[in-house]
């Protein structure tokens, strides 16, 4: 028997049904509970334990099971009442660009394995650098350049590896390192930094967690300098500082001008992680958050968080692409080709950990052409304005307090009550299924996070969240 491939006509018919299904999902997602409440194992128990022997199931049968088994077990990240973590936007143009990428099924590991995949990506990264007004040194027209990584975590890992290559004078790559190399980030630096440092072979002890200002949660430059001096005195080698624009906990902004000057003084690689807040820089009035970026050796943000481009899409730039490529290049015979040998092309496999790579630039291209700079700015501005309105409600109600500044679209707040009461508040409002918020700790205290940014969220949804919070607070605080 020959394999029953889906022919183009069958694909066309099934594909239309799937696109209709997604459009219906978006049109009705608001009516669903934001997050499921079934116990663990519910979805798995509803699925057969073995795969089908004969195929031929129509796509309608799969869609029916999507509706009855999968969708009830989803947390709906595109729901207008989704306020958890950070947003993970997607959009129509993003999905369509990704669909084209799936349909083409090309591997973009080398320029030669699909030239358009590489060249569109280089241009998209220059477009994004232009949109965010990033320093010239990151553009492909100079010594730098950008590449799409799957995640900010990978960007941090790759930056760490390049930094170790530099700090060890090439030993990290060639012989392995024999001394203790150190990475520095604030106590609010993302967990992916410790993971990167562990993968790089430095061990968790290789990370120096630098104290933050208790009011702003931003890294204290004097504490950074002191940690570097102490390590140098002990014979260790400071390799990389990871500064954050928009920390995950509270969107604190580390003082890049001071941190950058310290890195320059000691010759330490500066990586700037703006995973969530980088998108804000499409708006000129929010670019103050990126002051000092000209010091950075590398920078990344996630269009897949707040810039309407579906996961996965992390935009990562380096100021000196030669260092990165030197650190990561490995050239087996089966990949040798004239274009690579000529040095005239970019081979993105040398800019990342895996060899293979998807054609992710397509979804960016679709998104940027659909929205344009003004459309993207409108999306960011709506989130920032809604967050400001929500913060105003908190400020105006004596029972509540703001726990941190809200420069972007995240508001951190708490009831003026014990941690238990705040945890109960979160559980109760989430229990309604109308909204989904998450929490953090600020200065040790349980704090609620309201992260606005789903494309469907409007003032009415933020008002509803506030009403739920205020009414629940009344219940909780009434003895
Ligand atoms: C979300 C986040 C990350 C991790 O992002 P991924 O792309 O999921 O790896 C890293 N750093 C910061 C500051 C974040 O907010």
Over residues 272-330, the pLDDT tens digits come to 999 999 999 999 999 999 999 999 999 999 999 999 999 999 999 999 999 999 999 98
Place of tokens 């990584």: 149
Residue 51 Cα to ligand 1 middle (Å): 35
Mean pLDDT of 398-412: 97
Does 3.10.20.810 match the CATH number of domain 98-366?
Answer: no
Give the Å distance between the CA of 153 and the centre of ligand 1.
6
What residues does CATH 3.40.640.10 cover in the chain?
98-366
Ligand 1, closest atom to CA 312?
A: 7
Ligand 1 centroid to 302 CA: how many Å? 8
Residue nearest to atom 1 of ligand 1 (CA): 275
- Confidence band for 163, pLDDT divided at 50, 70 and 90: very high
| Rounded mean pLDDT, 332-348 | 88
Residues with CB under 6 Å of ligand 1 are 86, 151-153, 190, 192, 244, 247-248, 273, 275-276, 302, 314
Question: What is the distance between the alpha carbons of residues 424 and 419, in angstroms, rounded to a whole number?
Answer: 9
pLDDT value, residue 342: 87
Domain with CATH 1.20.1340.10 in the chain: 8-76
Residues above pLDDT 90, as percent of the chain: 93
For the CA of 153, the closest atom of ligand 1 is 9
CA of 248 to the centre of ligand 1 (A): 7
* Residue to mutate, 88, 149, 153, ligand 1, most ligand atoms under 8 Å from C-beta: 153
pLDDT tier for residue 209 given thresholds of 50, 70 and 90: very high
Pick from 275, 299, 309, 438 the residue to mutate for probing ligand 1's pocket: most ligand atoms within 8 Å of its CB: 275
Position 178 scores a pLDDT of: 82
pLDDT confidence tier of residue 23, bands split at 50, 70 and 90: very high
Minimum-distance ligand 1 atom for the alpha carbon of 150: 7
User: Which candidate, 138, 132, 136, places its Cα nearest to that of 280?
Assistant: 132
Instruction: Work out the pLDDT band at 334, boundaries 50, 70, 90.
Output: confident
* Closest C-alpha to ligand 1, atom 12: 275
Is pLDDT at 479 greater than 80 in this prediction? no
The residue to mutate among 273, 298, 312, 409, having the most atoms of ligand 1 within 8 angstroms of its beta carbon, is: 273
Distance of CA 78 to the CA centre of its chain: 16
Residue 154 CA to ligand 1 centre (angstroms): 10
pLDDT of residue 109: 94
331 has pLDDT over 90:
no
What was the pLDDT predicted at 17?
97
Please check the confidence at residue 58 and state whether its pLDDT lies above 90: yes
Query: How much distance in Å is there from the Cα of 344 to the middle of ligand 1?
Result: 33
Q: Ligand 1 centroid vs 326 CA: distance in angstroms?
A: 26
Rounded Cα distance between 165 and 71, Å, is: 46
Distance 437 CA to ligand 1 centre (A): 18
The predicted pLDDT at position 478 comes to 84
Please, what sign has the CA dihedral across residues 6, 9, 11, 17?
negative
Test site for ligand 1: of 85, 89, 192, 360, most ligand atoms within 8 A of the Cβ: 192
- Name which residue sits closest to atom 2 of ligand 1, judged by CA: 275
Does residue 312 have a cis peptide bond before it, meaning omega lies within 30 degrees of 0? yes
How many angstroms is it from 275 CA to the middle of ligand 1?
Answer: 5
Question: Ligand 1 atom 4: the closest Cα is on which residue?
Answer: 152
Q: How far is the CA of 151 from the centre of ligand 1 (A)?
A: 7
CA of 472 to the centre of ligand 1 (A): 31
Which residues touch 317 (CB under 8 Å, ≥6 apart)? 125, 129, 134, 138, 144, 145, 146, 147, 298, 299, 300
Of residues 309, 332, 374, the one with CA closest to residue 95:
309
What is the length of the chain?
A: 479
Domain 8-76 CATH superfamily = dopa decarboxylase, N-terminal domain (1.20.1340.10)
């Amino acid at each position: 028997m020959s394999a029953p491939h889906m022919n183009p006509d069958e694909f066309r018919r099934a594909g239309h049904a799937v696109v209709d299904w997604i459009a219906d999902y978006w049109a009705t997602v608001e009516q669903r509970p934001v997050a499921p409440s079934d116990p663990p194992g519910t979805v798995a128990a509803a699925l057969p334990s073995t795969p089908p022997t004969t195929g031929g199931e129509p796509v309608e049968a799969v869609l029916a099971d999507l509706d009855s088994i999968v969708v009830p077990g989803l947390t709906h990240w595109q729901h207008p009442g989704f306020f958890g973590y950070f947003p993970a936007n997607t959009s129509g143009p993003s999905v369509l660009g990704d669909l084209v990428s799936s349909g083409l099924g090309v591997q973009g590991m080398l320029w030669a394995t699909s030239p358009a995949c590489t060249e569109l990506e280089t241009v998209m990264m220059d477009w994004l650098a232009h949109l965010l007004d990033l320093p010239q040194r990151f553009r492909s027209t100079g010594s730098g350049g950008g590449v799409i990584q799957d995640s900010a975590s990978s960007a941090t890992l790759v930056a760490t590896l390049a930094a170790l290559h530099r700090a060890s004078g090439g030993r990290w790559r060639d012989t392995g390192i024999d001394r203790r190399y150190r990475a520095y980030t604030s106590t609010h630096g993302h967990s992916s930094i410790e993971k990167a440092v562990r993968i790089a072979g430095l061990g968790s002890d290789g990370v120096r967690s630098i104290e933050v200002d208790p009011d702003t949660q931003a890294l204290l430059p004097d504490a950074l300098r002191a940690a570097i001096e102490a390590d140098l005195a002990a014979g260790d080698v400071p390799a990389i500082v990871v500064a954050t624009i928009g920390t995950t906990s509270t969107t604190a902004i580390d003082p890049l001008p001071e941190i950058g000057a310290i890195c320059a003084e000691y010759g330490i690689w500066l990586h700037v992680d703006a995973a969530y807040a980088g998108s804000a820089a499409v708006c000129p009035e929010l670019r103050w958050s990126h002051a000092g970026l000209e010091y950075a050796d590398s920078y990344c943000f996630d269009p897949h968080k707040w810039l309407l481009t579906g996961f996965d899409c992390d935009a990562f730039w380096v100021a000196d692409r030669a260092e990165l490529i030197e650190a990561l290049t490995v050239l087996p015979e089966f990949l040798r080709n004239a274009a690579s040998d000529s040095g005239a092309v970019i081979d993105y496999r040398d800019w990342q950990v895996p060899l293979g790579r998807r054609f992710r630039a397509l979804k960016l291209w679709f998104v940027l052409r659909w929205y344009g700079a003004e459309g993207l700015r409108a999306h960011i501005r709506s989130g920032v304005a809604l967050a400001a309105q929500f913060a105003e409600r908190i400020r105006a109600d004596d029972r509540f307090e703001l726990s941190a500044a809200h420069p972007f679209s995240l508001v951190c707040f708490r009831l003026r009550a014990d941690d238990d009461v705040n945890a109960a508040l979160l559980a109760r409002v989430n229990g309604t299924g109308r909204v989904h918020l998450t929490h953090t700790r600020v200065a040790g205290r349980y704090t609620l996070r309201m992260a606005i940014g789903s494309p469907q969220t409007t003032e009415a949804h933020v008002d509803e969240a506030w009403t739920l919070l205020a009414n629940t607070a009344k219940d909780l605080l009434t003895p």
